Amino acid sequence: MSGRRPGAGVGAHLYGVHMPPPGARGSAAGPVGGPGWTHAAEGDGMDDAGRTAYEPLGQDPEPASVRRVTFVPFFPGGLAGAVRGGDGMVRLPSGEVLPGEDWILDTAARVPLETAGYYRQRVHPFAWDAGQQRLYAWLDGDRYRGRRPHAADADLVVADAGTIAGMLPQGPERRAVLDAARSFREQDDASYFADNLRLLEPAYLRATTPEGGSGFGREPEQWRARRSMVVEALHKDGTFLDVGCANGLLMDSVRRWAAERGRVIEPYGVDFAPRLVELALRRLPRWAGRLAVGNALDWRPADGGRFTFVHTLADCVPERRLGDLVRRLLAELVEPGGRLLVSVYQAEGGTAPTAAERLAALGVPVGGSASGTGPERTATTAWVDA
């Protein structure tokens, strides 16, 4: 997948471990908290009659049964957030699932924007109140300042989870923050990739434009403005592998943009989501022999070959695995004299580090960097010489 957030012009990938078929429930992410899951203080989830209303989620509820969702948002660096209302009370973002909405594709995007001015990047359900048909889910994302309707004046309170929990009334929301922080902190690779597959594959497949099918929710002109910086790294003719190609739009766009500069680029693509590779094959039948299903952490072409340029997103793997991914791609997929390209896409107003900052933090020598045209830091690419 070459985009991260469906419908908002940012992007994400799905890789790392082999997952159950799309549509499999519960076991895809395993126990919701991951290794070391434990419950918060006993009694925090009791209803007025003393019955346990809030309980850790063992498997996803049927989508049609979810009537309301309460979110625990996390920000770059791992801090949690809540919203202080006009009455001075601190609350978690929460809202109804509207008629016709899919809770994960629609409600989890709309409610955090409308209530907190927050743009979700990933979604992970972790608790359920069957009586109220309320789902609890944590979000990985950041502040938002783009063109979509959002609460620009929301009074966001951002702090460590313990502090946020202490601001909330005794009850399910307080417990939810503590449980969410534990789940967020301890999430394993399998759960990370399951979350991405659950969110991004159906979002890309229901898109009605080529850009939307690659995770970008704007017009073709904006696609070029916020993605063509990738071509700045192409210093010679050669092959180009897009790790997370989704519907193949970026690999084909790079070929065309490079040709405008006199470069001859032969595009290739790999994606972890089989249905997206099928979509790419339908869109780009001429590249049928150059598209494959595989994950970023272990895929290699059948002929064992390498590529002049390999492009990936920083968040195609969990943050703690980025160094492993960079080393693996440089050692196994980039040919001598070639370059590894790493991109970071984020919504307007986001505060995540740029691609160059991410690589520098790993101690990787950055050969150069470029930014897309548009709001600062929304689209950046950095490269490493092999």
Q: Are strands 307-313 and 379-385 parallel, antiparallel or unpaired?
A: unpaired
Token readout for 101 is: 């909405």
Query: Are residues 339 and 386 in contact, defined by beta-carbon separation less than 8 angstroms?
Result: yes
The reply to whether 28 falls in a domain is no
**Are 231 and 368 contained in the same domain?**
yes
Q: What letter would DSSP give residue 16?
A: S
Distance of CA 237 to the CA centre of its chain: 31
Least Cα distance to 377 among 357, 340, 351, 341 occurs for 351
**Are 50 and 110 contained in the same domain?**
yes
The whole-number pLDDT of residue 68 equals: 98
> Does residue 15 sit in helix, strand or coil?
coil
The whole-number pLDDT of residue 347 equals: 81
**Are 280 and 378 contained in the same domain?**
yes
**Are 162 and 303 contained in the same domain?**
no
**Are 366 and 227 contained in the same domain?**
yes
Residue 220 CB coordination number (10 Å)? 13
**Are 231 and 155 contained in the same domain?**
no
The CATH number that applies at residue 70 is 3.90.79.10
Token readout for 344 is: 């970071």
CA 89/CA 193 separation, integer angstroms: 35
Q: What letter would DSSP give residue 228?
A: G
The reply to whether 375 falls in a domain is yes
CA 224/CA 234 separation, integer angstroms: 16
The reply to whether 77 falls in a domain is yes
Total tally of structural domains belonging to the chain: 2
**Are 284 and 342 contained in the same domain?**
yes
**Are 182 and 72 contained in the same domain?**
yes
**Are 179 and 142 contained in the same domain?**
yes
Q: Which helix (H) or strand (E) holds 282?
A: helix 274-283
41 is in which domain, residue-wise? 35-186
The reply to whether 201 falls in a domain is no
The reply to whether 29 falls in a domain is no
**Are 232 and 288 contained in the same domain?**
yes
**Are 249 and 374 contained in the same domain?**
yes
Q: Dump strand ranges (E) for the chain.
A: 3-5, 10-12, 54-56, 68-74, 80-84, 90-91, 94-96, 118-129, 134-143, 155-159, 238-243, 265-271, 291-293, 307-313, 334-345, 368-371, 379-385
The reply to whether 336 falls in a domain is yes
The reply to whether 23 falls in a domain is no
Q: Per-residue confidence of the chain (386 residues) as pLDDT tens digits?
A: 644 444 333 333 333 333 333 333 333 333 333 333 333 444 455 554 444 589 999 888 999 999 999 999 999 999 999 999 999 999 999 999 999 999 999 999 999 999 999 999 999 999 999 999 999 999 999 999 888 899 999 999 999 999 999 999 888 999 999 999 999 999 999 999 999 999 999 999 999 999 999 999 899 999 999 999 999 999 999 999 999 999 999 999 999 999 999 999 999 999 999 999 999 999 999 999 999 999 888 899 999 999 999 999 999 999 999 999 999 999 999 999 999 999 999 888 888 899 999 999 999 999 999 999 877 778 999 999 99
Query: Are residues 352 and 307 in contact, defined by beta-carbon separation less than 8 angstroms?
Result: no
Task: Tell me how far CA of residue 276 lies from CA of 141, 174, 333, in angstroms.
Answer: 24, 39, 22
> Residue 240 contacts by C-beta under 8 Å, 6 or more apart in sequence?
234, 251, 254, 255, 258, 265, 266, 267, 268, 307, 308, 309, 310, 311
**Are 218 and 182 contained in the same domain?**
no
The count of C-alpha atoms lying within 13 angstroms of the C-alpha of 201, restricted to the half-sphere facing its C-beta, is 21
Task: Tell me how far CA of residue 130 lies from CA of 304, 375, 382, in angstroms.
Answer: 51, 42, 47
The whole-number pLDDT of residue 30 equals: 34
Residue 344 CB coordination number (10 Å)? 25
> Does residue 152 sit in helix, strand or coil?
coil
Least Cα distance to 352 among 97, 112, 78 occurs for 78
- Bridge partners of 311, per DSSP, are 242, 341
The reply to whether 141 falls in a domain is yes
The CATH number that applies at residue 363 is 3.40.50.150
Amino acid found at 356? A
Least Cα distance to 12 among 3, 21, 22, 25 occurs for 3
CA 386/CA 383 separation, integer angstroms: 10
